Amino acid sequence: MVNQAVSDDLIEQLCAIGISLSSERDTDRLVETILRSAKGLTSADGGSVYSLTEDQQLKFELVSTDSLGLSMGGTTGIEIRFAPLPLYTDGKPNLNMVVTSSVLNEETINITDAYHAAGYDFSGTKKFDEKTGYRTKSLLAVPMKNHENDIIGVLQLINAQNAAGEVVPFSAEAQRLAESLASQAAVALTNKRLIDDLKTLFESFIQLIAGAIDDKSPYTGGHCRRVPELTMMLAEAVSATQSGPLADFSMDDKDRYELHIAGWLHDCGKVTTPEYVMDKATKLETIYDRINEVDTRFIIIAREAEVACCKERLVALERRDAQAAAEAQARYEQTLEQLAADRARVHSTNVGGEFMSDEAKAEIEKIAARTWTDADGVEQPLLSEEEVYNLSIRRGTLTSEERQVINNHIVATIKMLESLPFPKHLQRVPEYAGGHHERMDGNGYPKGLTREQMSVPARVMAIADIFEALTAQDRPYKRGKTLTECLQIMGRMRLDNHIDPDLFDIFIDRGVYRAYADMFMDAEQIDDVDLYKIPGYTPPDMRQAG
């Protein structure tokens, strides 16, 4: 009955260890659990865990000896300076060392006394003992084989101890326990590596997509990289806030990872946006800038005026009417002057900007009424209705139809992300990524969500996307704004209930805007911001005074 009780106790221990190994997500802590458990099951004083590298060497991952108070590797922060042990030297198997021999022969090696074991080189062990006063005696080396029967490392245990604390050989039962544990450990480590590899592949693929989107447009290069950076900066600032309306918001590592992934994917729908719309640098641009066609028409009108002038002058000179000839020349020169002014007006209007007045729009319509004669002799307006429509864009370079095409990228983003089978810890990625164009007052797109309907991370990303766009130097229709200009604009957006007011306060209070500027903005954009002049923002000292 005693043996059965002991056996049941060991089984429970192994089960508990197995559960612990399978639930651990950190590789360093996993290795420490393996060694600690092995030492506990076999009553070993010390031990090491080695991993088998791709170049066929055994690398020290963790070293621990209780009686010496020695612990290196793992989460200790103490670097293991021992050189890796090669499985082969000069092309020959390295059978002189216990751990390498254990791997090469795929067997457990149980040594009663290292100083009297034949066939192995323990010179390094003896030097260590001389230096520390230790006495390495019993030794157990167990190869760690995973579920595919591949060796991924070695578990080595040193100096088994009896109840009196005396060093004894590792028993057959201790060996079986160590082998059982090594098998569980190998599976756990392999699974962790597979998860890490899949995670790395997943993240690399996401960044590949984001990079392709940035590369797709020379005018938004880096946007998909900068937005996640700023998103995480602001989210961390909010998480660190201990007072105010957002004091209860916090993030753990899983939350951070989920938001990080959402940041990288927030514009993935732009793969569906045509380049000629995304890159539309001027109002008349489609696949190319049609301003050159308009210039050609101006040249044709000027030539027509020149021909008409020459004809009038010829008739006048034939009649010996010098005054009529001079008047024809004056009208021609006046026409050229007006054409130059009209052409300049079209060019300046084509660039786009923050605002176009009704007067400027009327001038374009007046210019459009000029006519020219095409190759078929048909009289045509200087500007077509579609060109007038484009040149009459009030802000920027996009028509309302083109703006809708651009805006549709967020619909495509949500559709793409919601179609993916995200695991449980990433299920909020579509919501976070798909909300960065919503407004707090419900007038955003695509769902018209209000502040109460949006999570804090989604609202964080909305601010990050806006600030990045305002500061970016690579937009086709504007220059990158200064910090003061950006915060003035965002302050007005705060008052208009466009962005979250509490997040905007933290964005400024904790200097997130400045930290981002130091990382990504050009020096000439970084000016001294007068916080007291930001619309809708009250500095902390005034809040406290109030």
What pLDDT digit, counting tens, does each position of 295-314 carry? Answer: 999 999 999 999 999 999 99
- Answer for the pair 153, 141: CB distance below 8 angstroms, yes or no: no
Domain hosting residue 37, numbered range: 2-195
Q: Are residues 137 and 22 in the same domain?
A: yes
Helices (H), 472-539: 483-495, 501-509, 512-520
| Structure token pair of residue 303 | 């030539």
Q: What per-residue confidence (pLDDT) applies to 218?
A: 60
Q: Are residues 242 and 311 in the same domain?
A: no
Q: What per-residue confidence (pLDDT) applies to 258?
A: 96
Q: Are residues 268 and 295 in the same domain?
A: no
Domain endpoint, select from 164, 195, 226: 195
Backbone torsions φ then ψ of 119, nearest 5 degrees: 90, -5
pLDDT at residue 478 is higher than 70: no
Domain endpoint, select from 353, 372, 397: 397
Q: Are residues 313 and 374 in the same domain?
A: yes
How would residue 4 be classed by pLDDT, with cut points 50, 70 and 90?
very low
How would residue 6 be classed by pLDDT, with cut points 50, 70 and 90?
very low
Q: What is the mean pLDDT of residues 281-305?
A: 91
Q: How far is residue 99's CA from residue 154's CA, in Å, rounded to a whole number?
A: 7
pLDDT at residue 136 is higher than 50: yes
**More reliable by pLDDT, 221 or 98:** 98
Torsion of CA 240, 242, 246, 252, to 10 degrees: 40
How would residue 196 be classed by pLDDT, with cut points 50, 70 and 90?
confident
Q: What per-residue confidence (pLDDT) applies to 21?
A: 66
In-domain check, residue 223: yes
Q: Are residues 365 and 414 in the same domain?
A: no
Query: pTM to 2 decimals?
Result: 0.71
Q: What per-residue confidence (pLDDT) applies to 1?
A: 35
How would residue 489 be classed by pLDDT, with cut points 50, 70 and 90?
very high
Q: What is the pLDDT of residues 522-533, one digit of tens each?
A: 999 999 999 999
Q: Are residues 525 and 477 in the same domain?
A: yes
Q: Are residues 371 and 409 in the same domain?
A: no
Q: What per-residue confidence (pLDDT) applies to 444?
A: 92
Domains in the chain, number: 3
Q: What per-residue confidence (pLDDT) applies to 221?
A: 59
In-domain check, residue 35: yes
What mean pLDDT is reported for the chain? 89
Contacts 24+ apart (CB under 8 A), 23-26: 24/188, 24/192, 25/192, 26/75
Q: What per-residue confidence (pLDDT) applies to 414?
A: 92
Q: Are residues 18 and 143 in the same domain?
A: yes
Query: What's the distance, CA 72 to chain centroid?
Result: 33
Least confident of 44-48, 75-79, 230-234: 75-79
In-domain check, residue 71: yes
Q: What is the pLDDT of residues 52-96, one digit of tens each?
A: 998 999 999 999 999 999 999 988 889 998 899 999 999 999 999
Q: How far is residue 522's CA from residue 525's CA, in Å, rounded to a whole number?
A: 5
Q: How far is residue 490's CA from residue 488's CA, in Å, rounded to a whole number?
A: 6
Within 13 Å and on the Cβ side, how many CA atoms surround 189? 29
Q: What per-residue confidence (pLDDT) applies to 8?
A: 60
Q: What per-residue confidence (pLDDT) applies to 75?
A: 87
Q: What is the mean pLDDT of residues 189-212?
A: 85
Q: State what percent of residues in the chain have pLDDT above 70.
A: 93
pLDDT at residue 236 is higher than 90: yes
**More reliable by pLDDT, 540 or 24:** 540
In-domain check, residue 212: no
Give DSSP secondary structure letters for 434-485: TTTT--TBS--SSS--BGGGS-HHHHHHHHHHHHHHHH-S--SSSPPPPHHH
In-domain check, residue 202: no
Q: Are residues 326 and 371 in the same domain?
A: yes
pLDDT at residue 2 is higher than 50: no
CATH code for the domain of 122 = 3.30.450.40
Q: What per-residue confidence (pLDDT) applies to 26?
A: 76
Q: Are residues 444 and 318 in the same domain?
A: no
Q: What per-residue confidence (pLDDT) applies to 45?
A: 96
Q: Are residues 430 and 346 in the same domain?
A: no
Domain endpoint, select from 195, 226, 256: 195
In-domain check, residue 200: no
Q: What is the mean pLDDT of residues 424-441?
A: 94
Q: Are residues 378 and 441 in the same domain?
A: no
CATH code for the domain of 241 = 1.10.3210.10
- Answer for the pair 78, 72: CB distance below 8 angstroms, yes or no: yes
pLDDT at residue 207 is higher than 90: no
How would residue 545 be classed by pLDDT, with cut points 50, 70 and 90?
low
In-domain check, residue 204: no
Q: In 10 A of CB 26, how many CB atoms?
A: 13
In-domain check, residue 25: yes
Q: How far is residue 152's CA from residue 319's CA, in Å, rounded to a whole number?
A: 107
Q: How far is residue 132's CA from residue 117's CA, in Å, rounded to a whole number?
A: 21
